[in-house]
Every structure is written in structure tokens, then in C-alpha cells.
Chains A and B, each alone.
Chain A
Amino acid sequence: MNVFVLLKQVPDTETKIRIKGDGSGIESGDIKWVLNPYDEFAIEEGIKTKEKLKEGAVTVVGCGPDRVVDALRTAVAMGADNAIHIKAEDTLDTYLVGKALAAACKKENAELILSGKQAIDDDQAAVFGFVAEFLDVPSISVVVKIDIAADKKSLKAEREVEGGTKHIIESSLPAVIAVNKGINSPRYASLPGIMKAKKKEIKTYTLADLGLGSESARTKDSAYALPPERKAGIKIAGDAKAQAHELVRLLREEAKVI
């Protein structure tokens, strides 16, 4: 099976975010870039699928500036076979990223497409839906378990919905599956893997190569702003019993939330 994994590179969560003077975006100078944590689960699931089926290949694809190559190499070091870099600015909107990834998946005949549940920088949780729609294949999101049928024509996926409930969804293949934490434990890169990744040739496409030269963005971001600072409130003094009593009183009478 031709398994594709969509990878995004995101700022490390500890990175301090600074807004550009004109509010048009964030300063990218001293950001430490890492693989989106949810995408690590997607890579692991891709590799595991190949191991289970004892055939096929795992191709990782990332859309963004040159630095994205590092994320792709990380995935190869973990065990992905091929890597595709779609060279583009990092400000593409969800629509264009979806178009680009779908076009690459189509060109390479992807049969199972795995992505993360969401990217932790923009938290859109939407790219996989766009990719699935542009490929005209089913999509299943927030997935914590995948079972591919013996004939490899369909799969069953377990997805988390609300209130702790899970849905088992049966879908034809090809399909796009967005995975959640809990589906597996991503492996570490092996030493031979790291050596292989260094030398791995990465296929590169531009948007024009993918026939998207005349496509334009559907949204434009502006007016980046810091959240209102939360001020530290009061500390409630006294012994435990007095503290508990006072807290409940304050929540009732002052904050009026209970």
C-alpha cells in the first residue's frame, strides 16, 4: 500500500512568540522548529501499517519553506521511505495547503493518507478535510485506532467524539485519516535511520509544478495581537476549612459562577 503522511513543521511549544511591528504576523527569527507532535503519531502509524502489511512504502510530504526539509528528514530517520517537499511560503492559507497536498497525493497515487489531528501552531484541524475533499475520498478525524481489511480495500477506524464516546467508522480506501495522540507510541530515530536520512534525496515540487500556479488564497491573516494578560488574583488565607468555605462564598457571591 502506498501510504502518505502529511507533515507540518511548527514552532517548539516553549518558543517565545513575538508579533511583528505591523501586526501582520510573527517574527520568525529565533523560533526553534519541530515536527508537529500529532504528525509523529501519523508517521508511526504509517510505518506500522507497512510493517503489518509486509509491503508498500511510506512517503512523507510537507509543504512550506526550505526548513521543512529538516522535518522530512526526521521522518525518514524514523523509517519513512520517501520524502516530498512542496516548496512554498509559510503563509499559505488552509485552502492552498490543502490544494498542494492533494495534488501531490494524486500525482503519486496515495492510497492511505495519514495526518495529525491538528497542527499545534495554528490549531486549525482542517487541512486533512480539505485534502480529502480535493481528492474526493472519505475522511475520518480524531482517530485512535486503524484496522485495515485483509483485502486492503477498506478500513475500520475508531474516532473519539464527545463525552468519552467513540465511533467505529468503516470506510472505503483511499481515505484520509487524521490521528490523535493515543493511537501508538512513536518510535525514536535509529542510528542507521539517521544516516540514511542525511543522504536521502528529497523530491521537490513547486506549486506551479503541481498545476496550482494560478490558484489564490481564500483568507488573509492580519492584526496579530497578544491576549489580554490575566492578572494574578487573590490568595485565600486561613486553615483548610476556612479556605474552602471562603472560596465557595467568593465563587457564589463575587464571581457568581456557581
Chain B
Amino acid sequence: MASETVLIGEVKDGHLKRVTFEILGEALRQGVEPTVVLLGQNLKEDLKAELGQHGASKVVFLEHEALASYSTEGFANALHAFLSPLNPSAVIAGATSQGKDYLPRLAAKLGVGFAADCTEFKIAPGAVSARRPVYAGKCSKQVNFLQGAAVFSIRPNVLAVSTVHAKTATIQKVAANPGTIRAKLVETKASAAKKVELTEADVIVSGGRSLKSADAFKILFEMADTIGAAVGASRAAVDAGYAPHDMQVGQTGKTVSPKLYIACGISGAIQHLAGMRTSKVIVAINKDPEAPIFSKADYGIVGDLFELVPLLTAELKALKAKS
């Protein structure tokens, strides 16, 4: 009987990404104990402890030198070889840059269905389903998996990290089979500034066309730096060249779900809302009291961002100095 649930964890800079613990937390709340699979080479034992602290009991290290750096085919092949004999009922990963890339190929290899960027899932005996926003978040739908393993990715920052008691996880080391890799990484171009990844950031400070220049975005970066936030932008700001496209939030940019989203001088067009409406707390700063963004904001300030942002930065600095 296919009953195993497999969670593919993701390691970044020697630690697990939080979305791994978020998926783990939700599975455990449903009484499901997933097998957590990590891919790489010479994976550190500490990772097992990290997972155990969050309630994982079974951990698999799928290792091969070809997996030391990420490749679509290497990851999809290695997972396929490992999962096929296991015949799992569900295979879950975070909807991160990597997860979004290899998971569809893995699902196709397994000959099964796929659902991306889900915000809920339900694992019951013989029936797995996931819910995902569609049509720019104007509605959501339930995807029911009909045959074979249910393969889906989970949007970061949506589910709660597990709070159950720590366990001592058992670890199984498996020699991976990454197959032939035809698309190879030949160079990595890091961005000049070490940026917090938007889709996984806890707090996002975002700016719109109203910033009027790339230089003006500095005030947002300053505010963001005081609280470890990432900086986002509206499409109008990106199109005007004030910010690069990888900072764009919205329907044709990134979908984010931070704990706190601070929109500075953003009108709140439907396509922008599509990318940030699932944020837990939304703050809007806009000089137009009629701006649509205010209808979605938990806290609104009618005023000039050029005046307010530096004041907020100062307040946040003061708060940080106190605590």
C-alpha cells in the first residue's frame, strides 16, 4: 500500500530552509510522519538534529558528488530513482526557486499529477488534495490527485512551523543516482548586494513608481536593513528602471507571503495585490487617501513616503536599540 509521505527538504548555507519545517509542521498536525529527504554531498549530521528538533523521525541523506551543486536533472533523476520503489502517496517540497524547477520534472518522471505553490494540503488514507490560489489570487481551487503519488510544492511562509516535541531522528544514508546531467551549471553570478530572497522573507518593504528614481530606493533599503527585511517593487517602478525585475512583486513578478508587507507609494492595482495579498499584515503608506491599497491594508498612513520612511527607520532603530 502506498502510504509513505516524502518531504524533500532544502539546505541553504548549511541550514534547512524554514519552509521545510513549515511543511513538516503541517504534516505532523495531520498525524502524518513524513520521511524527510535531503540531497547533496557530505551533508552535515547537524541537519538531522535540526530536523529532529522540529519533530522529524525519519531522515534520508541522498548523496552524490554530482549533487553538491543544484541541477534540475540531477535532482529529478536522483529523487526519481529513490522514490520509485518506495511508491509514496505524497511528495512535497517548498515552492522555492529550486523546488519550482525540479518538481514538475519529477512529477512527469513518476507519470503523476502536480500542483504548484499550494497554501494548504490534506493527506488522508487514499486521498490527497492541495489547495492553491489561481487567477491572480482572485480565487483558489482544490487539486485532487487521482493516480499515483501526489506531487506538490508549498508556498513559503504560509504554514506554521511545527511546535511538537523534539524527537531523535534516525538517519539513512543512500548513494544517489543522479543519472546524466545535460544542462550544467557553468557559472554563478551573485548579486552585488547580498539580498534576502523576496519569496522567503519575513518582512518586505516595497516601493512604487512614486519613488521616482533608483537612488530613492536607498531609503527603503535603509529601513529594510534595520529589520532584516527584503525590498520589493511594483511593476511601474521596475518598468521605469528604478529596481531590477527580480524585485517585482505581483502577477508578473514574485508572489510573496511575508508576516509583514509595507507598501510605500504603491497604488494597489489588482496585479500588484495578486502577488502580496496573502501577507499576514499589510501596511500602506500613500499620500492619496483614496488609493485602493488602503482597502487591503491593516494599517494605513496617509502621507508622504519621503518624510515617513526615514522617520520609520529612526523609530525602528530606536526600538532595536532598546530590545
* Alpha-carbon separation in the docked complex, A16 to B270 (Å): 11
In the complex, what residues of B have CB within 8 A of residue A130's CB? 104-105, 107-108, 114
The segment out of B42-50, B58-66, B168-176, B298-306 that lies at the interface is B298-306
* Alpha-carbon separation in the docked complex, A227 to B270 (Å): 14
For residue A149, CB closer than 8 A to chain B, the reply is no
Q: Are A250 and B299 in contact (CB under 8 A)?
A: yes
Interface size class of A (residues with CB under 8 A): 35 or more
Q: Are A230 and B72 in contact (CB under 8 A)?
A: no
Q: Mask for A108-129, Cβ within 8 A of B = 1, else 0?
A: 0000000000001111111111
Tell me, rounded to whole Å, the shortest Cβ–Cβ distance linking A119 to chain B. Answer: 10
Q: Are B114 and A126 in contact (CB under 8 A)?
A: yes
* Alpha-carbon separation in the docked complex, A209 to B208 (Å): 49
* Alpha-carbon separation in the docked complex, A156 to B289 (Å): 49
With A130-B107, A130-B108, A133-B108 as contacts: A162 and B114 at CB distance below 8 Å: no
Instruction: Count B interface residues, CB 8 Å.
Output: 99
With A129-B105, A221-B143 as contacts: A165 and B189 at CB distance below 8 Å: yes
Instruction: Give residues 87-107 of A contacting B (CB, 8 Å).
Output: 93-95, 98
For residue A166, CB closer than 8 A to chain B, the reply is yes
Selected from A126, A158, A171, the residue in CB contact (under 8 A) with B104 is A126
Q: Are A219 and B197 in contact (CB under 8 A)?
A: no
* Alpha-carbon separation in the docked complex, A158 to B247 (Å): 17
Selected from A156, A172, A235, A240, the residue in CB contact (under 8 A) with B294 is A235
With A163-B195, A166-B188 as contacts: A221 and B141 at CB distance below 8 Å: yes
For residue A47, CB closer than 8 A to chain B, the reply is no
In the complex, what residues of B have CB within 8 A of residue A120's CB? 136, 251-252
Q: Are B301 and A123 in contact (CB under 8 A)?
A: no
Q: Are B193 and A164 in contact (CB under 8 A)?
A: yes
With A125-B116, A219-B115, A255-B260 as contacts: A236 and B133 at CB distance below 8 Å: no
The segment out of B28-36, B84-92, B178-186, B210-218 that lies at the interface is B178-186
In the complex, what residues of A have CB within 8 A of residue B288's CB? none
Q: Are B146 and A258 in contact (CB under 8 A)?
A: no
In the complex, what residues of B have CB within 8 A of residue A216's CB? 146-147
* Alpha-carbon separation in the docked complex, A221 to B146 (Å): 10
Nearest A residue to B199 by beta-carbon distance? A162
Instruction: Give residues 18-49 of A contacting B (CB, 8 Å).
Output: 19, 26, 37-38
For residue B22, CB closer than 8 A to chain A, the reply is no
Q: Are B270 and A258 in contact (CB under 8 A)?
A: no
With A124-B116, A156-B186, A230-B296 as contacts: A164 and B301 at CB distance below 8 Å: no
* Alpha-carbon separation in the docked complex, A13 to B148 (Å): 34
Q: Are A257 and B260 in contact (CB under 8 A)?
A: yes
Please report whether the interface of chain A is mostly helix, strand, loop or mixed according to DSSP: mixed
* Alpha-carbon separation in the docked complex, A70 to B304 (Å): 45
Q: Are A234 and B299 in contact (CB under 8 A)?
A: yes
For residue B4, CB closer than 8 A to chain A, the reply is no
For residue B16, CB closer than 8 A to chain A, the reply is no
Q: Are B251 and A141 in contact (CB under 8 A)?
A: no
Q: Are A218 and B148 in contact (CB under 8 A)?
A: yes
Nearest B residue to A126 by beta-carbon distance? B104
* Alpha-carbon separation in the docked complex, A142 to B98 (Å): 11
Tell me, rounded to whole Å, the shortest Cβ–Cβ distance linking B297 to chain A. Answer: 6
* Alpha-carbon separation in the docked complex, A13 to B136 (Å): 8
Nearest A residue to B17 by beta-carbon distance? A162
Q: Are A251 and B299 in contact (CB under 8 A)?
A: yes
In the complex, what residues of B have CB within 8 A of residue A218's CB? 111-114, 145-148
The segment out of A57-65, A73-81, A174-182, A193-201 that lies at the interface is A174-182
Interface contacts beyond A139-B72, A232-B294: sample of 7 additional A-B pairs, CB < 8 Å, sorted by A: A125-B116, A142-B97, A162-B200, A169-B186, A220-B143, A236-B301, A243-B311
14 contacts between A and B (CB under 8 A): A13-B271, A121-B135, A125-B117, A126-B103, A129-B102, A138-B183, A165-B188, A224-B142, A226-B139, A232-B296, A243-B303, A248-B312, A255-B281, A257-B260
Residues of A within 8 A of B (CB): 11, 13-14, 16-17, 19, 26, 37-38, 93-95, 98, 120-130, 132-134, 137-142, 144, 156, 158, 160-172, 175, 180-182, 216-227, 230, 232-236, 240-241, 243-245, 247-248, 250-252, 255, 257-258
Residues of B within 8 A of A (CB): 72-73, 76, 96-98, 100-105, 107-109, 111-117, 131-148, 182-191, 193-197, 199-200, 203, 227, 244-248, 251-253, 255, 259-260, 270-271, 274, 277-278, 280-283, 289, 294-304, 307-308, 311-312, 314-316, 319
- A-B interface, 7 closest residue pairs, ranked by CB to CB distance from nearest: A129-B104, A218-B113, A164-B191, A133-B108, A219-B113, A138-B183, A126-B104
